[in-house]
Amino acid sequence: MTDAVAVSVIIPTHDRRDHLHRLLAALSGQREGTPLFEVIVVADGCTDDTGSATRSLAVPYPLTVLEQEGLGAGNARNAGAGAARGHFLLFLDDDVEPGPDLIAEHVAAHRTALDRPRVVIGPYRLPESDGDGFYPTHVRTWWADLFSAMARPGHRFAYRDILAGNLSLPVAVWRSVGGFDPAFRGCGGEDWELGVRLLAAGIEPHFASGAEAVHRVSGTGDVPASFARALQEGVADVLIGSRHPALRPSLDLRHWTGVTRRLLPRLAVSWPAAGDPLARSLARLLDPLERVNARWPWRRLYAGLRWYWYWRGAAQRLGSSATMRRFLDAAPPETSTPLRVDLSLGLEGAEERLEHERPAALEISWRDRTLGAVATQPGAEPLRGRHLRPLLVERFARELFDALDADGRLVRWLEGDRWDP
């Protein structure tokens, strides 16, 4: 696409003008040969003069600035996508700083997919300069682990891997699934919910490790901000479960039946007037614990408080403990029949069968011996051929070796047996 816009970069923003302008400056440094792109900024309820200040920037690409009245990031992305001219939509958060190859890597990931449409996720890791305190280290490690998992061969993507901070897809795919759900307003989770629909539509997720960006603002800020976000995640999970009842067993809400005997979760749902002051008081212990380098107690307390605020968010939507149980119990029963794959007939043949049938659940055997099963994972992509070998290594290695040994083939396999029958 040399004579038309290939990519529409869409950036929702709210009162972070300086971070936005740093992002726009970085886009000016995309390497030579990058496909033609435009940028659409959607200023969502901004009070810092983002709109006019951004329109006055001198940048080497077409720049459009839209403004709307605080409708949330999902609605802002929808507005930007509605004005897009590109063949691909690339969504970026306003607190990321893209590397010079980001756009080209996204486009390359789509073009190598031949006729199969993809949703492409790029990494946006936190910089080491964020600090070495307990909380910055915790958040930085969480983000690094998240993207490292996606980069591993055979990773099975789930809806929570669909992160709109650095995400692209063909505009036709975005239109076919209906864009972001406008109901997710101010609570986050709209990208996860979009991920549910993309995976259900058979859109292939792909991790493009070269489409790198730096997450200059963690999106978490500090410990109190992370508790506020946990509350929003509780609200978002209820919305996701309401839209997609089959996902309810996979949501963090499922832990409710196991925590009802603990004080903080019960206070969060039944007596928040007492629970909120107690949670805030306990949070004041985090700094003293860090000062004496009590990392393990800090982690336990932080995790417990974060759960408290998650349950508070869920309770805002569901109300009582009984309502929460009914919500979880209303999930439809699992009806998928596992596909049985016999490895003694050949590993490559088993992979081809998985790639052709793409089951939701799997039973792995060696002749008449069952090695193990992979249950249905709500909200995950169907099992494919590339998932089989990692599953054998990570989950069924002992069972496979025992079966090979019992069959008298272990040594032959270790020496390079092709697993012919």
Task: Report residue 342 as tokens.
Answer: 């016999």
Q: What is the pLDDT of residue 287?
A: 94
- Among 73, 10, 15, 18, smallest CA distance to 38 is for 10
Per the document, the length of the chain is: 421
Q: What is the pLDDT of residue 240?
A: 95
Q: What is the pLDDT of residues 256-284, one digit of tens each?
A: 766 655 788 888 888 999 999 999 999 99
**Which SS3 state, helix, strand or coil, does residue 313 take?**
helix
**CA-CA distance, 269 to 316, in Å (whole number)?**
8
Q: What is the pLDDT of residue 410?
A: 58
Q: What is the pLDDT of residue 266?
A: 83
The secondary structure of residue 28, as a DSSP letter, is T
**Across 6-79, where does the E strand assignment appear?**
7-13, 37-44, 63-68
Q: What residues form DSSP beta bridges with 370? A: 365
Q: What is the pLDDT of residue 351?
A: 92
Task: Report residue 35 as tokens.
Answer: 């496909």
> Range(s) for CATH 3.90.550.10 in the chain?
7-219
The segments of the chain whose pLDDT lies below 50 read: 1-2, 219-220, 421
Instruction: Collect all residues with Cβ–Cβ distance below 8 Å to 235 and sequence separation of at least 6.
Output: 187, 189, 313, 314, 316, 317
Q: What predicted TM-score, i.e. pTM, was given to this entire model?
A: 0.90
Q: What is the pLDDT of residues 156-195, one digit of tens each?
A: 999 999 999 999 999 999 999 999 999 998 778 999 999 9
**Across 276-356, where does the E strand assignment appear?**
339-342
Q: What is the pLDDT of residue 146?
A: 94
Q: What is the pLDDT of residues 213-272, one digit of tens each?
A: 999 875 445 899 899 999 999 999 999 999 999 999 888 888 876 665 578 888 888 899
The strands making up 96-98's β-sheet, listed across from edge to edge, are 96-98, 213-215, 124-125
CATH architecture of 7-219: Alpha-Beta Complex (3.90)
Q: What is the pLDDT of residue 358?
A: 93
**CA-CA distance, 396 to 34, in Å (whole number)?**
44
| CB-CB contact of 116 with 198 (8 Å) | no
